[in-house]
């Protein structure tokens, strides 16, 4: 789990004040990290185009040109000139080596480095910037972004377009801008460059964290004398679209719940043999999942009553976001997880009286809206689905960046609900169930070996069996 920051200005300042590292030293390390990445590619004779901006992000690029000048065919282009003190200093040093900026872009380059605008970028790109970024995107070379791809604003949105990188080498620490859903097509792989001091010393407190594979804790069974009663009883409420509930239930069973029962007021046809059905919650219930395909007019009074009376761990999804009584569950239940996609989250915020906000607004400011929900309902774990799924609990955010287009299929959210609810039934805390269920969901997608457009929910369920191998 790695820390993510809004920006690194305070962290840089701490380096100056506590460690005696000045701006020049940090810049040399930033450029050296990019140079090392280029050298490690092992090609040897590439032409390298570096497009540098007028500020300190541009100064990083100019420094990189100096480091590579003797070993590669380097072209430096400064569409805005050099304006910051460090950019001017680095350009003066470069010119003393005999390399002068070129007034126009070349037609091609093997490697293209975008060092126009980094973390300080906030205003929309002007015409010159748009034309430059558009020209760089049309080139076929290997693309490297310095710190943050030009055009990505602090919330992670192209403004109005952005450089498309194969890799982003971000300076010092990870930034939120790299993990907006709209940023995902632009950032490529993400690497962090140390700036003269270990990240352990450079980074300070953060309330936002990046999840990775090492954070996964699957429900492995270690007791050889165990039986089904040791692994919980998950109950899934089935409404008008029963297939969604069946998918959720099958995922929950596959992920280790000892028993899974579908709760329905009428028989479900073609029920898989491994699932049970009941008209009411059994006494042994250890978690409930509801909302998937439930319908907007379904009100499972008996289920709600027992959940509220016994504070049963609860997974809520989909249609439940439309129903006014969701507020009662959120306010009175202490072990809840809710898993909306952006459209459902928009409805949920309105239903709860928090804000009438569009899906587009949510997607532009995902971190802010997730944190705002968490402030209002600190005991509930929010899983805001997306290209980079956000998990919010007690105003702390966790980002799962591992999702793939395999999940862009109806029913994949029902699988996520089943995975999380299964862990709730097996005794995981709501936060740990959300983290591990979300990671399992993305691992299933990554492990799928077919064409990414061809996966169906049953394929994801099949992949669950291999998660711990």
User: Six-digit token pair at 395?
Assistant: 């105003």
228 neighbors 200 (Cβ within 8 angstroms): no
Q: Using one digit for the tens of pLDDT, what is the confidence trace for 102-140? A: 999 998 999 999 999 988 788 899 999 999 999 999 999
What's the average model confidence in pLDDT over 80-87? 94
Q: What's the rounded Cα separation, in Å, for the pair 95 and 110?
A: 23
| CATH class label, 214-466 | alpha beta
Q: Using one digit for the tens of pLDDT, what is the confidence trace for 228-263? A: 999 999 999 998 899 999 999 999 999 999 999 999
179 neighbors 210 (Cβ within 8 angstroms): yes
Q: Using one digit for the tens of pLDDT, what is the confidence trace for 302-336? A: 888 999 999 999 999 999 999 999 999 999 999 99
pLDDT, residue 469, reads 62
Q: Whole-model pTM above 0.75? A: yes
Q: What's the rounded Cα separation, in Å, for the pair 57 and 452?
A: 36
Structural domain boundaries in the chain? 2-205, 214-466
> What DSSP string describes 324-393?
TTHHHHHHH-SSEEE---HHHHHHHHHHTTS----HHHHHHTHHHHHHHHHHH-TTEEEEE-SSSEEEEE
Q: What's the rounded Cα separation, in Å, for the pair 238 and 263?
A: 6
Q: What's the rounded Cα separation, in Å, for the pair 295 and 343?
A: 16
pLDDT, residue 416, reads 98
Which stretches within 79-118 are classed as H helix? 85-95
What's the average model confidence in pLDDT over 197-207? 93
User: Six-digit token pair at 301?
Assistant: 């009074």
Q: Using one digit for the tens of pLDDT, what is the confidence trace for 377-431? A: 999 999 999 999 999 999 999 999 999 999 999 999 999 999 999 999 999 999 9
- pLDDT band at residue 43 under the 50/70/90 scheme: low
- Would you identify the CATH topology of the domain 2-205? Rossmann fold (3.40.50)
């Amino acid at each position: 789990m790695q820390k993510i920051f809004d920006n690194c200005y305070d962290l840089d300042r701490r380096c100056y004040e506590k460690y005696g590292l000045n701006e020049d030293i940090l810049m040399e390390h930033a450029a050296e990290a990019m140079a090392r990445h280029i050298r490690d590619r092992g090609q040897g004779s590439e032409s390298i185009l570096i497009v540098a901006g007028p500020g300190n992000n541009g100064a990083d690029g100019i420094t990189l040109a100096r480091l590579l000048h003797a070993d590669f065919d380097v072209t430096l282009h400064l569409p805005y000139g050099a304006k910051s003190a460090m950019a001017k200093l680095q350009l003066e040093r470069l010119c003393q080596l005999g390399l002068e900026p070129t007034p126009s872009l070349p037609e091609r380059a093997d490697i293209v480095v975008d060092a126009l605008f980094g973390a300080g970028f906030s205003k929309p790109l002007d015409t010159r910037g748009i034309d430059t970024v558009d020209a760089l995107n049309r080139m076929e070379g290997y693309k490297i972004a310095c710190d943050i791809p030009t055009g990505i604003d602090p919330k992670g949105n192209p403004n109005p377009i952005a450089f498309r990188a194969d890799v982003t080498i971000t300076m010092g620490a990870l930034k939120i801008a790299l993990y907006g859903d709209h940023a995902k097509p632009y950032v490529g792989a993400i690497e962090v460059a140390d700036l003269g001091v270990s990240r352990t010393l450079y980074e300070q407190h953060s309330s936002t964290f990046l999840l990775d594979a090492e954070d996964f804790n699957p429900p492995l069974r270690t007791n050889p004398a165990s039986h089904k009663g040791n692994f919980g009883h998950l109950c899934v409420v089935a409404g008008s679209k029963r297939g969604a509930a069946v998918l959720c239930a099958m995922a929950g069973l596959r992920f280790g719940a000892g028993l899974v029962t579908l709760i329905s007021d009428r028989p479900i046809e073609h029920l898989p043999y491994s699932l049970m059905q009941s008209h009411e919650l059994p006494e042994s219930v250890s978690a409930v999942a509801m909302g998937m395909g439930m319908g907007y007019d379904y009100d499972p009074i008996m289920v709600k009553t027992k959940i509220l009376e016994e504070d049963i761990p609860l997974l809520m999804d989909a249609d439940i976001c439309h129903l006014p009584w969701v507020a009662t569950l959120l306010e009175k239940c202490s072990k809840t997880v809710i898993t909306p996609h952006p459209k459902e989250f928009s409805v949920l915020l309105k239903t709860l009286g928090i804000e009438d906000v569009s899906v587009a607004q949510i997607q532009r400011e995902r971190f802010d809206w997730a944190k705002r929900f968490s402030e209002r309902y600190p005991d509930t774990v929010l899983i805001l689905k997306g290209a980079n799924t956000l998990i919010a609990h007690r105003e702390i955010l966790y980002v799962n960046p591992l999702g793939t287009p395999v999940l862009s299929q109806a029913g994949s959210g029902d699988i996520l609900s089943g995975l999380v609810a299964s862990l709730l039934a097996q005794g995981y805390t709501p936060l740990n169930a959300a983290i591990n269920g979300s990671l399992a969901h993305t691992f299933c997608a990554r492990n799928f070996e077919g064409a990414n457009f061809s996966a169906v929910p049953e394929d994801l369920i099949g992949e669950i069996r291999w998660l711990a191998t």
